[in-house]
Amino acid sequence: MMIAATDVHYFETGCAAACVLFSDYSDRRPTASYTRILPPPADYVPGEFYRRELPCIVTLLRQINPLPNEIVIDGYVTLGDSPGLGHYLFKSLGSEIPVVGVAKSRFKGSFGIEVFRGKSTRPLYITSAGTEPQKAAEKIRTMHGAYRIPTLLRQVDILARERAGQLLSPKS
């Protein structure tokens, strides 16, 4: 089994998409990582985040062969009764690859399962497509790391930020 965790970091002239691959939710290190620099995405519109982030993630996933068996995104799969980023990703992949959404803040009207990790009193909000929400929440709960944000999700965030930072740093 191969699982991908993705994240996108935005900067003035584009975005850096990153992905780490791992074989089990309890893994502490990725087996591979990928990054991709892309042109500026669409402007952010509340409730339509997928328009901004989906093209970045789909383009990044084209680098991975074969595609992972599951994908974890930074965001929501569903926003209450409305589709979110993860839903659109699930559909764009033929509704064949489960997508688990891990959001750090509550979106008004969303129904994510609250997962508390470490000693944090702030939950993560878990939504999913292609897998039962309770199972998805349990997978995120068991991910490696003693803090609110699992180790591999923190690593993919850092990877995207570092890749963007390499472009923004002056060349010597």
pLDDT score at 172: 44
For residue 141, give the nearest of 158, 118, 110 by alpha carbon.
118
| Domain span at 14 | 3-168
Give the number of domains in the chain.
1
DSSP characters over 107-160 = PTT--PEEE--TT-SS-EEEEEESS-HHHHHHHHHTSS-SSSS-HHHHHHHHHH
Closest to 20 in 3D by CA, of 168, 151, 164, 166: 151
- Give the domain CATH number at 99: 3.30.2170.10
Helix axes 85-92, 49-61, angle to 10 degrees: 40
Predicted confidence pLDDT, tens digits, the chain (172 residues): 999 999 999 988 889 999 999 999 999 999 999 999 998 788 888 767 788 899 999 999 999 999 999 999 999 999 888 899 999 999 999 999 999 999 999 988 788 999 999 999 999 999 999 999 999 999 999 999 999 999 999 999 999 999 888 765 555 4
Q: How many helices (H) and strands (E) does the chain have?
A: 4, 9
